Amino acid sequence: MANPTATLQTSLGDISIELYTDQMPITAGNFVKLAKDGFYDGLHFHRVIQGFMLQFGCPNSKDPKSRAAGTGNGPGGCIQDEHPEDAKISNAPGTLSMANTGRPNSGSSQFFLNTVDNSRLDWFTPGPSKHPVFGKVIAGMDIVSAIEATPTDRGDNPVTPVEMIKVTISE
């Protein structure tokens, strides 16, 4: 059975992502459930850092200028960390990775799209950051680049909000 595809319809264009439900069933499954429930629809990218990543998925980002954007969890709270020995997928450009607070089992609804090689964030490398990859962009890297180029304020929040209009899952 093929992995599902997520289409991220943003205010700057569409991004298609293969979700690795075969290798990362907890993390990718959590994303699929939230997307199917409409959780991500109408939220905004709340953290954009050129030469690093784009972060999204905080419920507090419905208001793109909220000071609480980046601090919230999705319905159901946090999920179990997923670090399978047979799925050592690196935080390479175009990959989708689980955001967390740095504490164990603190991932929830927030994720980030890597725009460069961020292998230092791999869960299987030394260091405190442990971010499992659970998908990869298969179309729309030009849109990822356009979001990355969006001017931001000092808090890495886009000056002109970038909205996630809708996330659709195709299985």
Considering the candidates 44, 121, 134, 157, report the single residue annotated as catalytic.
Answer: 121
Nearest to 132 by CA among 21, 54, 53, 27: 27
103 is catalytic: no
Considering the candidates 23, 73, 91, 100, report the single residue annotated as catalytic.
Answer: 100
Q: Which residues pair with 30 in a beta bridge?
A: none
Q: Which amino acid is at 20?
A: Y
Considering the candidates 30, 55, 73, 110, report the single residue annotated as catalytic.
Answer: 55
100 is catalytic: yes
Buried-state track 99-122, b at ≥16 Cβ within 10 A, e below 16:
bbeeeeebbbbbbbbbbeebeebb
CA distance 99 to 168: 20
Considering the candidates 12, 114, 131, 134, report the single residue annotated as catalytic.
Answer: 131
39 is catalytic: no
Considering the candidates 52, 60, 83, 124, report the single residue annotated as catalytic.
Answer: 52
Considering the candidates 23, 47, 118, 157, report the single residue annotated as catalytic.
Answer: 47
52 is catalytic: yes
Considering the candidates 45, 111, 112, 134, report the single residue annotated as catalytic.
Answer: 112
Tell me which residue has tokens 């999920």: 79
| Residue 70 backbone zone (phi > 0: left; psi -120 to 50: alpha; other: beta) | left
- Per the CB < 8 A criterion, the answer to whether 70 and 52 are in contact is no
Question: Any idea which residues carry the catalytic annotation?
Answer: 47, 52, 55, 100, 112, 121, 131
